[in-house]
Structure 1
Amino acid sequence: MEHQQRPCLSLGPVYYLWDGPKWRDFYFRIADEAPVAHVVIGETVCSKREHFIEPHVADVVERLEAAGKQVVFSSLAMVTLERESQRVRALVRDSTHPVEVNDLAALGLIKGKPHSIGPLVNVYNAATARLLAGRGAVNICLPPELPMRSVREIASSMPDVSFEVFAFGRMPLAISARCAHARSKGLVKDNCQFICGEEPDGLPLRTLDRQSFLVLNGVQTMSHSCVALVGELDDLGAAGIARIRLSPQDCDMVAVAKLYQSVMEGRLGSEEAIDRLQAIYPAAPFSNGFYHQKEGAAWIAKGRTAGLGL
């Protein structure tokens, strides 16, 4: 049975290191102009970056909530130090807002309290989703590497849980205790000098034959391509997906959100939307391969999905 309710848009956390004023002004504009219902904020990738945004968090939350957005706080993707453990404990214990869990450390602490699951947690099947829902998860953002067949199966098996799909942005692929970004600049993690801030959209990597491959973002590895599930929005809505997640890139994310909203409302065709999206974010090729059971970096044009088992 197809679900008739249209999904809403959500905005994931900024994965990159942006300076405090840029981070603040980004969210101020999201609050004032972007048609998103849910906004996840907070440092997810590297705890050393937290002091850049801390002075602005209260103002950002106030502005977003005044605009009617639901604010969710993100937990760290990897906890390796005692001070990081203390920060996660404090977040779970003291936050007056919902928390999005991005690793098993926070998951163990938050058991029994309503929370969200972020795309960095590997939810690959319905059994895992049921386990997480039984522990208090009320919204689960599925990992971007899942094909539509799996998305549909998971969502249909649990109609009372809100599911979210990663539909725009470079894919978060891996996280490490070491910082390859700093190492590439001749530095080490403990004295990184916040060099990752020099690439507000990530540091591109190339193979030996100069082919674009991946992107470094501090301790995080991301895809070179940018997921763009514009032509798939109708299918996601029909499958019962409640939220469509946009992951912030260093571009006009208000324009991205308005474009996705126009497609979901039927005011703009997906092919024209892709053309406009390329103008908004020309920094990376678009991909939707995982969704169509192909390699993740592939681009499957709409109308070419016959025989893919979708």
Structure 2
Amino acid sequence: MREGREVGPVGLLLWCGVLLGVSFPLGKVAAEAGVSPVMWALLVSLGASLSLMPFLAAKGLLRLPRGKMLRYVVISGMVSFAGINLMIFGLVPKVGAGQVGMMFALSPVATLAASLLFGMKAPNALGIAGIIVGLVGALMVAFGRGGVEGTLIWSLVALSIPVVLAAGNVYRSLDWPAGAHPMALAFWAHLVAVVSLIAVQFARGEGVSFEAIQRVPGAAMVQLVAAALTFPAYFKLQKTGGPVLLSQIGYIAAALGLLSAVVLLGERYGPVSWIGAGITAVGIAMTIAAQTGWRVNIQGWFPIGRLTRAKLFSRRELERAPQQGYLLSARRQAVLKLLRQA
């Protein structure tokens, strides 16, 4: 993908969400063909790293990571790529592509909570409202589904997806190496994921074989292209939009995953799920509106006079600001200290 200065956070959000949503039905197609979750996750990271190599070589950015950058790509590769892709492709055959996709739609709330905990910038009132509306829609889809095979235990395991996503989103913003190019970080993080997944295959005594992947050449090619186009934009969105905005690709990916699972894979969902999908779409629209400059004046919702309202809110802000600022700063410094010691 071009470095594209003209592509803003909203464009990157839509780009990443759509491409990520393609992975859910492709993962189910691969599973039905007998491809293991480890090998399909390996294919994703392999596609991302190989596509980035020529660009980095041409720009002179293909240098071995050291120090903070090395720590960053190792943790990011292990958690956000190798780990989360194993969870996705392992759970899709158990609970359905649409269900796993909707677990991604829960990640914005988890990421928002973690971001506030570590003193990071939160979205405005409209953005927070959009996250909440999207959450309501996602829960309606998750609990209103019908006809998707799965068990309670696997559904509960799937609930760990947004927690892992939130941890990765917040970590990548907190520990971003100064001066590092987003595409270089994407390349090395996926290369770490490739090495990790190969190690998993050998630990299982299976080795690396692409024989099963050859049964679904079309799906494999689409997955490779999607991975190649996703992750340069993904890291750029991480840098420009922050973890909370980045996490909201989950809403877009979930909506696309749900639609494609029904149209292409024959999964069936009840009317409650479709209403929830519509509510999720409203949440996405609110989030985009907030990112493009809309503002909601929450103070205007209170039935009190303008002067009284101004006194109340200004007094509250004055009283709370020093304590909040100190606590948030202390939390963030504690996290960074732990990361440096790791």
Higher normalized contact order (CA 8 Å, seq sep 6+, divided by chain length): 2
Higher helix content, 1 or 2: 2
- Normalising by structure 2, we get a TM-score of 0.26
Q: Larger C-alpha radius of gyration, 1 or 2?
A: 2
Higher strand content, 1 or 2: 1
